[in-house]
Amino acid sequence: MLLKIAFRNLWRRKFRTIITIVAIGISSSMLLFFEQLHLGQHEQMANSGIRLHSGHVVIQHKNFQSSCELADRIIHPEKVMKIIRENFGSSFPVSSRIFTTGSLASSDGNIILDTLLGASHVDEGKISNIPEKITSGKWISGKDGEIVIGFLAAKLLKLDIGTKVQLSIPDLGGNVSRVALRVTGIFTTGGSDIDRGYAVINLSQAQKLLNMGNSVNQISVFSGIDNSLKMASSIRKKIHDNELEVLDWASALPTLSQFILVDTISMYVFLLIIFFIVAAGVLNAILMSVMERTREFGVLKSIGMKPFSIFNLIIIESVLIGLISTVIGFLIGQLISYLTYKYGIDPAAFTGGETMEVAGVGLTERIRTKITFWSIVWTSSSVMLMTVMSALLPAIRAARIIPVKAVRDV
């Protein structure tokens, strides 16, 4: 009976009820959309950084994270690779990498390389986003004498596909190794730091130039962001070498992971402010409804209705408003999220055509939402909880109405 009465009461003031439902519904849809947009944006940022600089799981010397020195290396990478293959098979791509710095010189000048990556053309080709960013030429083929550079480096040095450039890098002993390499590919990521100071050569040639033998700086496993922490823990238990450490992607890329954390906190603070604004609107609407029906509640109590029943009546009305609003918000929010997922948002639109860059990662790909079941559940639950909590004070007020005073005052 209370449910039937509550439903009828909603439509006694149709305009106010519709305004309240629309306000909550729009807020719910925006909450859902922004949550899924941030999930997609953060995943894209993480994947871009992971594919360029680390991996979902990283095995490296315990000092390499802080020193970035060639001496802090994995001397026997084949043992680590064997452990990974024995325990995980070939389910996940694995790449052995050498990271160093150096300089490129041509007859038209020289530039400093912030990152020179030595990697297997096959393994790195499966996981790096550089091959798909190549705008001219092709990816390294595994032969000595090849290098892939960014378009800004090529522009500054006036290089083209097939032309030679001199690479100078300090080897393991501190001596400078110089070699002439032919440009096989030019890539464009949109990030100025990457397009100017990032280059890739074959792993075997990097090992020769640096006098590193078979050793490498890093072994990267690509298992997916969701599996990163669990897989890192699993590999850590298998590797019995005190000189090595196993990191998940967040530990391997602390600057990027901290930026994502701060951005997430900022988003939730913003959404919390929206919650308070909407909650105030819901409280006002329900409180006005209760005040207008003071005499009605007085009559109901005088004929025997318990205060708890009146309290429940107001709460049921708020629950109905919340349910209708949540359904509307879900439909609108998911429609916007789906369209954003399908077509994406160009990040350059927010920067006047320039590439947005975060922690050295250029955001050049369209930002797409990530639609998850959990994002739908918690946003819908939050809206329902907010609506019900906003109705508590008006419901308590209605339950405490004194029948005689209510009829006399009205």
Digits of tens for pLDDT over the chain (410 positions)?
Answer: 677 777 677 777 788 788 888 888 888 898 899 889 988 888 888 888 888 778 889 999 999 888 888 889 999 898 888 888 888 777 788 889 999 999 999 988 899 998 899 999 898 888 888 898 899 999 999 888 999 999 999 999 999 999 999 999 998 888 898 999 999 999 988 777 788 889 999 999 999 999 998 999 999 988 888 888 888 888 888 888 888 999 998 888 888 888 888 888 888 888 888 778 778 877 887 888 788 777 777 877 777 778 888 888 888 888 888 899 899 999 999 999 999 988 888 766 555 555 556 655 666 677 889 988 988 998 888 888 888 888 888 888 888 877 766 666 55
Give me the phi and psi of 133, to 5 degrees please. -95, 0
Identify the pLDDT of residue 407. 64
Identify the pLDDT of residue 217. 92
Give helix 254-292 / helix 294-302 axis angle, nearest 10°: 70
Identify the pLDDT of residue 128. 85
Identify the pLDDT of residue 84. 86
Identify the pLDDT of residue 41. 84
Cα radius of gyration (the chain): 31
Identify the pLDDT of residue 226. 82
User: Given CA atoms 38, 44, 47, 51 in this order, what sign does their dihedral have?
Assistant: negative
At which residue do the structure tokens 């708890």 appear? 308
At which residue do the structure tokens 């041509």 appear? 106
108 Cβ contact list (under 8 Å, min separation 6): 156, 157, 158
Burial 324-351 (b: 16+ CB within 10 A, else e): bbbebbbebbbebbeebbeeeeebeeee
CA 165/CA 169 separation, integer angstroms:
13
What is the helix (H) or strand (E) element at residue 149, kind and residue range? strand 146-150
For 190, which DSSP code? S
Identify the pLDDT of residue 207. 92
Pairing of strands 109-119, 198-202: parallel
Going by C-alpha positions, the residue among 324, 401, 81 that lies closest to residue 214 is 81
Amino acid letter for position 58 = V
As given in the structure block, the two tokens for residue 296 are 């009605």
CA 23/CA 34 separation, integer angstroms:
17
Identify the pLDDT of residue 320. 87
Environment class of 260 (CB within 10 Å of its CB; exposed 0-12, middle 13-18, buried 19+): buried
Identify the pLDDT of residue 184. 95
CB atoms within 10 A of CB 352: 6
Going by C-alpha positions, the residue among 268, 215, 264, 276 that lies closest to residue 60 is 215
Identify the pLDDT of residue 362. 60
